[in-house]
Amino acid sequence: MNKKILIVDDDEELVDFLQQYLEKDGYQVSGAYEGVEALELFRKREFDLVVLDLMLPSIPGFKVCKKMRRDSEVPIIMLTAKAAEDDKIKGLEVGADDYVTKPFSPGELLARIRANLRRTDDEEGPEEVSYGDLVINFSRQEVFRGGEPVELTATEFKILKAMAKEPGRVFSRVQLIHSALGYGYDSFERTIDVHVKHLRDKLGDGEKEEDQKYIETVYGTGYKFEPPQNSP
């Protein structure tokens, strides 16, 4: 089945162009030109990926992204004319998985779409692992802590998966970017710090070394998944 993509941008010509461009590559594409319309479409239909502009009428793209993320883990690529790092960080903090800065080539966006969709496809590997009260089901992309579900974004899950499959291994930030976001992803390393902070919050880890139960900071290098010693 062809993947379904929702493009949200107030530039109707851009939406129409991208729709035609992506449909030639085999995708089913729907367009929306403002926030309210985008959310209505998102709730009515099942999409595999969303391309979302941050500068929208009626509801800002940041809020649209946050509302979408509450209901779904679908990959969200944000479009922004703002090149400032803080704007990219803000988008990632509200749930976006990737970003493309305007102006961009359609080929670049297509490459990002392919990479994000490829990462959401099922991968081979153990179905489930347990570390103390933490249970990670790779096939269903589910995480439980103390029997309670832990809601993670697609990118957060992929970072956790990469580390949990090799407990004790030290991952550099660049390695985690490649594991979770793909080798074609041109990003700044602070991206991973944002995602790891969210992971720690959701797993009950603290920022201080003595409070890090699962994800440890290896200063000057990156991070490692180090479950409690009494874990099976």
pLDDT digits (tens, 9 = 90+) for 66-102: 899 887 888 999 888 766 667 777 777 788 888 888 8
How is the chain split into domains, by residue range?
A: 4-120, 128-225
Tokens 């902070």 belong to 197
pTM (2 d.p.): 0.59
- Name which of 112, 66, 56 is nearest 91 in CA terms: 66
Q: What integer is the mean pLDDT of 146-166?
A: 89
**Residue 68, phi then psi, degrees to nearest 5:** -65, -40
Q: Which fold has domain 128-225?
A: Arc Repressor Mutant, subunit A (1.10.10)
Residue type at position 37: E
**CA atoms 171, 212, 150, 44: torsion sign:** negative
pLDDT digits (tens, 9 = 90+) for 181-208: 654 455 556 778 888 999 999 998 866 6
Q: Which has more pLDDT, 70 or 149? A: 149
Domain 4-120 has CATH 3.40.50.720: no
Q: Provide CB contacts within 8 A for 38, sequence distance 6+.
A: 6, 8, 32, 52, 56, 64
pLDDT > 90 in the chain, percent: 36
